[in-house]
Structure 1
């Protein structure tokens, strides 16, 4: 016989029960007797091996009172208020978490809006600084160009003055040379 079998059979008292329940009861009895030695976990682990968690908790139809150790059968009428209370607590926790997540989402949205505004402000400041720098660079380049042109005009004026002086010296020499040539009769 398999311990996980779900076939129904009747015990000697005529009560119909599943074979798995009998094995659980036997494992629980062994575990009660040997709880100090850690055999409870091993006995239940042997039974639960291969079962889903739903099957493990579905088979649990009785519980022990922690103070007097009497076994209390869990029926639908006893379990319904416990399930309702647990469901209500979980719903409250879920609602609280949803409110918390909503608050966090609002904070994140506000922070992202602030970041976008700050980024926009930084972009505007950068554009203003860039415009001011461009203006100052343009003014500096215009000043350099004026100075370069002024230097170039000054150099031309000096060259022109030198050429005029050379021309007047040459004109004087020519005039003196033609005067001398006329005087000595050359020509």
Structure 2
């Protein structure tokens, strides 16, 4: 029974002393969710987050951010920008991973709004975990296996030119 009381008090204290998010720009005017700001993620243990007016004019912020032990689903980039995590290198984690259950310190969004051909191995690992951690050779996306390290076609053509030159030299000398 004492453990149950402790858990209830802990949940209440975390709700009362929850730290709000930082100011972000939502769409349109106002902070209504989901009209202008995306629906905040679901947090376990239970934490209710709502969008409110931000500190800076025209911005919005979340009423609370989850603690490090909380788990959540449905995270978006704008959520992560309001309630950023911190990577082990102390880099702000301001982008939602592809599963929407973590904020990661990628160099750009993990979503479809990413600039074409900018994926790196580090970003693929941050965004996808071990399921698709390697960047494709053209950096157009991520894949589960490391790209093959076969020589490029230009290397073959350079080799052919060198071989041809050597054969011509041998023919000339003999």
Hey, which of these two has a bigger chunk of helix by percent? 1
Q: TM-score range by the shorter chain?
A: under 0.3
For normalisation by structure 2, the TM-score amounts to: 0.27
Hey, which of these two has a bigger chunk of strand by percent? 2
For normalisation by structure 1, the TM-score amounts to: 0.25
Structure number with bigger Rg: 1
Larger relative contact order, structure 1 or 2 (CA cutoff 8 Å, min sep 6):
2
